[in-house]
Structure 1
Amino acid sequence: MADLNAEKRRDLLLKILVPTCVIAILIVIWDLSVRISGAAPYILPGPIPVATALINDWGILWPAFLVTARITLVSLALALIGGVGFAIFLVQSRWIELAFYPIAVILQVTPIVAISPLILIYAPTTQVALLICAFLVSFFPILSNMVQGLKSVDHNLLNLMELYGASPLQTLIHLKIPAAQPYFMTGLRIGGGLALIAAVVAEFAAGSAGAGSGLAFRLLEAQFRLNIPRLFAALLMLSVLGVALFSLTSFLSWLVLHRWHESSLKREN
């Protein structure tokens, strides 16, 4: 048991140290490239000007970061509720799936930039419009993966539930939903990243500005002012938010699956 715990601690340490070392090496290469090329800060800033901008402009960037993070998380939560609920509705009948699933496909394949002007017109506020745009983009991956999971249950188990006289609701709760968890977790990881992308793209399309704007507006503002260090700082914050979302969804996936699903068991071994 002690050897197993030591091995797990060593694996965890490697998972932290290896990416950290790679990132540190890339930063050093970035800094050396800027110094050797002699590029001006308004063309390609080095790590130090970006870090300085991040510190000096924290009062501007942090509120924008919170706005983007709130839109991303709320839209992802709505996509989870809507995607799972709609997936359960679709698998109840072949006719229901044939009738309603194409509508979800149409919403997915239509570029969000193309329909965002309509959403901005009909939504009561700009924030609601941003939420709708981010929701539409992150909704379909969760829906499609959940539908696939609910339809991939072993038919022998379905026959066994029917043999024991289980109701459709009991079959759904005790068999179909647990069996669909790996598919759902995959959709959750994809939807988390897409929710952030959609939130930024929606704000670009909305052209929102002012104190309540997110990081997308700060990116455009820094570009127009040729404040490239601030632009890089805003991009860094977006990257951190994306990595945090992916880490959170990956941890949730591990938490749910690591005791029984092969994918997580193999990662542990």
Structure 2
Amino acid sequence: MTTSTIEALAMTTETPVLNSEQNRRARIERRQAVIMPTMAIVIALLVWEGLVRYYEVPHYVIPAPSLIAQTLVKDWSSLMSSMMFTVRLTMLSLACAIAGGVLLGMIFALSRTVEMSFFPFAVILQVTPVVAIAPLILIYVRDTFTALLICAWIVAFFPILSNTVIGLRSADHNLRDLFKLYRATPLQRLRFLLAPSALPYFMAALKIAGGLALIGAVVAEFVAGTAGQNTGLASRILESSFRNEIPRMFAALFLVSVLGIVIFLATSWLSRLVLGRWHESEIRRET
């Protein structure tokens, strides 16, 4: 038996062991990713509960987590309807930001003239606080939901646009020349060269824009709430602060936080799903 044959047999016998060891480590890492944050949250809640009870802090100053949970159960119907309003507003604004940002980003990437003409307007929308724009939009747009949608869209739009432009222009110039050499159609260049190049940038922007869409929705709801409009979770927070119902305010704030975490986890999962098999940012390697 030759040396190469022995080495081949050794490799075939060691591969299952290595694969099983890698799978075991991956399972442990997945469990730790869930267990460790859960333990930290539980410990923080227990410390919070203990300190409030030990120092007898009034519930109108800082309510205990147990009281917040009771309020969440008691007012679940009203809080849930408000949360669904915020969810719908956030998802629609994010969808509009994706559609507008990708489309305009493709136009900017194809034409420097168009970019130089219109990109300053996108920057103006980005740097102007939505709190300053929201009252004007609520005056000019009669439908409250449409006005809130515009406010949330303004906040989430710019990261999608900026990263799409950068991603489309980051394609390797040698590959661009190769596609020209083989006379690839514009659709083929977009599908096989530009889109794969821009996809990691777009997924990174999606993680940012998801949270910004929620922030924009909540801020717009606050402005609408001060104008007497009954909207989503921000209206419940504002209403509870006026009535000095601090536990209810914390319950609504808890739902906003949960919604933000869900959006981040969903966009992170989507990024791993899309990029996990081919892009370095999402490929998990053994250390």
| Shared fold per TM-score greater than 0.5 | yes
Separation (CA, whole Å) in 1 of partners of 2:166 and 2:178: 21
Equivalent residue number for residue 124 of structure 2: 106
From 180, 192, 198, the equivalent of 2:198 is 180
| Residue identity (%) | 51
From 180, 185, 200, the equivalent of 1:167 is 185
Equivalent residue number for residue 46 of structure 1: 64
- Deviations 1:92-144 (CA, angstroms, capped at 9, x unpaired): 11111111111111111111111112211222300000001001100001111
Q: Is 2:98 the counterpart of 1:80?
A: yes
**Cα shift at 1:268:** 7.3
Q: Is 2:260 the counterpart of 1:242?
A: yes
Separation (CA, whole Å) in 1 of partners of 2:182 and 2:140: 51
Q: Is 2:20 the counterpart of 1:2?
A: yes
Amino acid at match of 1:121: I
From 250, 264, 267, the equivalent of 2:282 is 264
Equivalent residue number for residue 149 of structure 1: 167
From 250, 263, 287, the equivalent of 1:232 is 250
Q: Is 2:141 the counterpart of 1:117?
A: no
Residues 1:24 and 1:177: Cα distance change in structure 2 (over 3 Å): same
Equivalent residue number for residue 136 of structure 1: 154
| TM-score of the aligned structures, taking structure 1 as reference length | 0.96
Q: Determine if contact 1:209/1:217 at 8 Å carries over to the other structure.
A: no
Separation (CA, whole Å) in 2 of partners of 1:26 and 1:151: 45
SS at match of 1:226: coil
Q: Is 2:201 the counterpart of 1:201?
A: no
Higher-Rg structure is 2
- Deviations 1:170-219 (CA, angstroms, capped at 9, x unpaired): 21221111111110011000000000000010011122656x62000100
Residues 1:221 and 1:103: Cα distance change in structure 2 (over 3 Å): same
Separation (CA, whole Å) in 2 of partners of 1:242 and 1:258: 23
Q: Determine if contact 2:151/2:220 at 8 Å carries over to the other structure.
A: yes
Equivalent residue number for residue 33 of structure 1: 51
From 38, 41, 45, the equivalent of 1:20 is 38
For CA contacts below 8 A with separation 6 or more, give which structure has more relative contact order.
Answer: 1
**Cα shift at 1:31:** 1.0
Q: Determine if contact 2:224/2:231 at 8 Å carries over to the other structure.
A: no
Q: Which runs of 5+ in 1 are unaligned?
A: none
Q: Determine if contact 1:72/1:134 at 8 Å carries over to the other structure.
A: yes
Amino acid at match of 2:121: I
SS at match of 1:124: coil
Moved more, 168-177 or 158-167: 168-177
Equivalent residue number for residue 84 of structure 2: 66
Q: Determine if contact 2:233/2:256 at 8 Å carries over to the other structure.
A: yes
Equivalent residue number for residue 55 of structure 1: 73
CA RMSD of aligned residues (A): 1.4
Residues 1:248 and 1:268: Cα distance change in structure 2 (over 3 Å): farther
Equivalent residue number for residue 221 of structure 1: 239
Amino acid at match of 2:172: D
Q: Determine if contact 2:94/2:209 at 8 Å carries over to the other structure.
A: yes
Equivalent residue number for residue 251 of structure 1: 269
**Cα shift at 1:267:** 6.3
